[in-house]
Chains A and B, each alone.
Chain A
Amino acid sequence: MEEEVINYELRLYIAGKTAKSVTALANLKKYCEEHLKGQYTIEVIDLLVKPQLAEGDQIFAIPTLVRKVPEPIRKIIGDLSNEEKVLVGLNIRPR
């Protein structure tokens, strides 16, 4: 299947190492390993370091996961504790 080879570019916006962002990152890594093994890249952006990047991706909540590729852009906010929702949100699993 062609869909299987799509590469996922994911961006996680956090603001410092808070409990929520640590949880979110851990959750994200776990889901990706499970479902997208070998076809994803995760970029973690700390807005405390680079606040100017918040505007570009329309970030207002922390943590926010942005799926840059494949289009369209999708956003998931929260600590990603609900696996089902994350997978639906990233369009990994059909709704």
Chain B
Amino acid sequence: MTKSQKKQQLNIKMLPKTPTGISGLDEITDGGLPMGRPTLICGEAGCGKTLMSLEFIVRGATTYNEPGVFMAFEEKAEELAMNVASLGFDLQKLQEQNKVRLDHVHIDRSEIEETGEYDLEGLFIRLGYAIDSIGAKRVVLDTLENLFSGLSNQTILRAELRRLFGFLKDKGVTAIITGERGEGTSLTRQGLEEYVSDCVILLDHRVINQISTRRLRVVKYRGSQHGTNEYPFLIDEDGISVLPVTSLRLEKDVSSERIPSGIPALDEMLGGHGFFKGSSVLVSGTAGTGKTSIAAYFANETCSQKKKCMYFAFEESPNQIIRNMQSINVNLKQYVDNGLLKFHASRPTLYGLEMHLVSIYKLIKQFRPDAVILDPITNLITVGSVSEVKSMLVRLIDFLQEEQITVMFTALSLNTIVSEQTDEGVSSLVDAWLLVRDIEANGERNRGMYIMKSRGMKHSNQVREFIITDKGLDLVDVYLGPEGVLTGSAREAQKLKEKTGVALRDFALSRKDKEIMRKRKMLEAKISNLQAEFESTEEELNKIYIEEDLKQQIIEKNRDEITKMRRGFEPETKIRRKK
């Protein structure tokens, strides 16, 4: 007794806690349930009280090496063991190892007659014996309220219950007591909460729009801080998972690594490198604008770099997507086959948002992808209100950013809204937002794409025309002509028109060129004519000159001859002298 008193004194100082081992619950309660004190878990039928308390025992035995006693007032031990076998809890084995002890307290009013004074010492002894026999640190009483239906003397019961909680505290065990939710505002039918005042957890199972969601709320927790919100939780093959709505801090690692989108022209618009790793990208647009194609391109690109990609499809089946994407020359099948790409298709209405979120969490944890695609998030709105979807996506983005996973959402926006805000209101959460929209003109519909925002990088402000062909996706500059922005066939027409203009001009130019050539030839001919004329004239002149010269020579020669003949000199010398 002194030992447990010492323990309690220690409790007052720092309130030690017993981790439950239930994923998420320990985060909410900041470490677990109050150690050595009873905790009340209450809720309506079928909201998971028994399972949660049993998981507390099993996790304690398997993970924390704290043996536990489960005292069941409702189900038999074998039934319990069978019920939780589907969750992978082997109660039989744990019992054999003396880590868990199940005790079924059977109370049947028809077998019992009450006469005179009694107390519940028998229960105490049983519990005490069970605790001592395995050295239990954890105890669950499920559901104490059955005592009230089995016994009629309420006065005794209430007094004994008070004694029971005192007994549990003295034993120094961390206890969970479950109770049915009462009418109106009371937490339990029999007012158990007045005995258990340290920690009260309320479970709730609500059906909204035909989809049920389980929620958990820590109503009170003395001497400790705790999350006060309602947290959705799930029961699946691994037990209970509670999801904190938002992580409390905004402290995430960021990467400046860039990853390409798969469309080179789009990367060009995003400053040449694509998205940031670990960022969130929203592709929104009206119906049939190619959102899924962009997503498939992104998946294809990611896989082609030997990175893993997870594709959550809420609209089409994987095979449908693979087939459809083949038409734009994207072969996703090869990546599915070699395990780089994983599809997970589910109808949004299959289960509630929380279940979706948890299944996404789990699959991501298992597959560890580098990129995740959710196509489209708009469909989730059918299973939750806008604020619910938003809070789910916030959590998802938080989670993915922590894991450094790039995520691409596609969202359908309605024509009536001018896409300033998507339905889910996630636009403020995402890092990059691509908008694909229809441009309707001249009796045809074309796609235009622009970047609404892209945090932390230079990005183009241009509207590009977004073309989908059998060869794939591409972005082309829209035509900015004198008649305004032109797309589609109008753009082509304008291009043709320009081409014609060029041809005509070319023709005109070449005609002029030819004329010039001809003129030049003519002039050149003239020039050569004149040249010839000049040469002949010159020749004429030269001829006269030579003739004259010759004449002169002959005359001189003749004269010398005559002189020689007259004087009888030697003609040679005279000629030489003269020269």
Question: Which residues of A are at the interface with B, using a C-beta cutoff of 8 A?
Answer: 13, 15, 20, 23-24, 47-48, 51-52, 54-55, 58-64, 72-82, 85-86, 88-89
Q: Distance in Å from the Cβ of B278 to the closest Cβ of chain A? A: 57
Using A52-B129, A54-B126 as known contacts, say yes or no to A60 and B113 having CB atoms under 8 A apart: no
Contact call A55/B118, Cβ cutoff below 8 A: no
Contact call B129/A81, Cβ cutoff below 8 A: no
With a CB–CB cut-off of 8 A, which chain B residues contact A13?
A: 122
Q: Distance in Å from the Cβ of A8 to the closest Cβ of chain B? A: 15
Cα distance A85–B118 in the bound complex, in angstroms: 15
Q: Distance in Å from the Cβ of B245 to the closest Cβ of chain A? A: 41
Contact call A77/B113, Cβ cutoff below 8 A: yes
A-B contact pairs, 23 of them (CB 8 A): A20-B119, A47-B122, A51-B125, A54-B122, A58-B106, A59-B122, A60-B105, A60-B126, A61-B119, A61-B120, A61-B121, A61-B122, A62-B121, A62-B125, A72-B111, A76-B112, A76-B113, A77-B112, A77-B118, A78-B114, A78-B117, A85-B113, A88-B113
Answer yes or no: B107 CB below 8 A from chain A CBs: yes
Among A54, A72, A85, point to the contact of B115 (Cβ < 8 A).
Answer: A85
- With CB as the reference atom, state the residue of chain A lying closest to B71: A60
With a CB–CB cut-off of 8 A, which chain A residues contact B184?
A: none
Interface size class of B (residues with CB under 8 A): 20 to 34
Contact call B113/A51, Cβ cutoff below 8 A: no
Answer yes or no: B116 CB below 8 A from chain A CBs: yes
- With CB as the reference atom, state the residue of chain A lying closest to B150: A60
Answer yes or no: B44 CB below 8 A from chain A CBs: no
Among B116, B125, B147, point to the contact of A78 (Cβ < 8 A).
Answer: B116
With a CB–CB cut-off of 8 A, which chain B residues contact A64?
A: 118, 122
Among A48, A55, A73, point to the contact of B111 (Cβ < 8 A).
Answer: A73
Q: Distance in Å from the Cβ of B361 to the closest Cβ of chain A? A: 42
- Residues 112 to 160 of chain B near chain A (Cβ within 8 Å): 112-123, 125-126, 128-129, 147, 151
Using A48-B125, A61-B151 as known contacts, say yes or no to A20 and B118 having CB atoms under 8 A apart: yes
Contact call A80/B107, Cβ cutoff below 8 A: no
Counting from the closest, the 3 A-B pairs by CB-CB distance are: A89-B113, A81-B116, A51-B129
Cα distance A89–B107 in the bound complex, in angstroms: 16
Cα distance A47–B113 in the bound complex, in angstroms: 20
Among B111, B117, B120, B125, point to the contact of A81 (Cβ < 8 A).
Answer: B117
- With CB as the reference atom, state the residue of chain A lying closest to B103: A55
- With CB as the reference atom, state the residue of chain A lying closest to B126: A54
Cα distance A47–B123 in the bound complex, in angstroms: 10
With a CB–CB cut-off of 8 A, which chain B residues contact A79?
A: 115-118
With a CB–CB cut-off of 8 A, which chain A residues contact B125?
A: 15, 47-48, 51, 54, 62
Cα distance A78–B125 in the bound complex, in angstroms: 17
Contact call B111/A47, Cβ cutoff below 8 A: no
Contact call A58/B105, Cβ cutoff below 8 A: yes
Cα distance A92–B123 in the bound complex, in angstroms: 28
- With CB as the reference atom, state the residue of chain A lying closest to B106: A58
- With CB as the reference atom, state the residue of chain A lying closest to B133: A52
Among A55, A73, A80, point to the contact of B126 (Cβ < 8 A).
Answer: A55
- Residues 374 to 407 of chain B near chain A (Cβ within 8 Å): none
Contact call B113/A75, Cβ cutoff below 8 A: yes
Among A52, A60, A73, A85, point to the contact of B123 (Cβ < 8 A).
Answer: A60
With a CB–CB cut-off of 8 A, which chain B residues contact A52?
A: 129
- With CB as the reference atom, state the residue of chain B lying closest to A90: B113
Using A51-B126, A51-B128 as known contacts, say yes or no to A61 and B115 having CB atoms under 8 A apart: no
Cα distance A88–B113 in the bound complex, in angstroms: 9
Q: Distance in Å from the Cβ of B70 to the closest Cβ of chain A? A: 13
- With CB as the reference atom, state the residue of chain B lying closest to A52: B129
With a CB–CB cut-off of 8 A, which chain A residues contact B151?
A: 61, 77
With a CB–CB cut-off of 8 A, which chain B residues contact A51?
A: 125-126, 128-129
Max chain B Cβ within 10 angstroms of own Cβ: one of A54, A81, A82:
A54
Contact call B115/A82, Cβ cutoff below 8 A: yes
Q: Distance in Å from the Cβ of A30 to the closest Cβ of chain B? A: 13
With a CB–CB cut-off of 8 A, which chain B residues contact A72?
A: 111
With a CB–CB cut-off of 8 A, which chain A residues contact B115?
A: 76-82, 85-86, 89
With a CB–CB cut-off of 8 A, which chain B residues contact A62?
A: 118-122, 125
Cα distance A60–B123 in the bound complex, in angstroms: 4
- With CB as the reference atom, state the residue of chain B lying closest to A86: B115
Cα distance A62–B124 in the bound complex, in angstroms: 10
Using A52-B129, A58-B106 as known contacts, say yes or no to A80 and B116 having CB atoms under 8 A apart: yes
Q: Distance in Å from the Cβ of A60 to the closest Cβ of chain B? A: 4
Cα distance A39–B103 in the bound complex, in angstroms: 35
Q: Distance in Å from the Cβ of B144 to the closest Cβ of chain A? A: 11
- With CB as the reference atom, state the residue of chain A lying closest to B147: A60
Contact call A59/B126, Cβ cutoff below 8 A: yes
Max chain B Cβ within 10 angstroms of own Cβ: one of A48, A51, A52, A72:
A51
Q: Distance in Å from the Cβ of B77 to the closest Cβ of chain A? A: 10
Contact call A74/B111, Cβ cutoff below 8 A: yes
Among A74, A78, A82, A88, point to the contact of B118 (Cβ < 8 A).
Answer: A78
With a CB–CB cut-off of 8 A, which chain A residues contact B123?
A: 60-61
- With CB as the reference atom, state the residue of chain A lying closest to B129: A51
With a CB–CB cut-off of 8 A, which chain B residues contact A47?
A: 121-122, 125
Cα distance A62–B121 in the bound complex, in angstroms: 6
With a CB–CB cut-off of 8 A, which chain B residues contact A63?
A: 118
- Residues 79 to 129 of chain B near chain A (Cβ within 8 Å): 103, 105-107, 111-123, 125-126, 128-129
Max chain B Cβ within 10 angstroms of own Cβ: one of A13, A59, A78, A79:
A78
Q: 16 other contacts beyond A15-B121, A62-B121, A82-B116, with CB at 8 A cut-off?
A: A20-B117, A47-B125, A51-B128, A54-B125, A59-B126, A60-B123, A60-B147, A61-B122, A62-B120, A62-B125, A73-B111, A75-B111, A76-B114, A78-B114, A80-B116, A82-B115
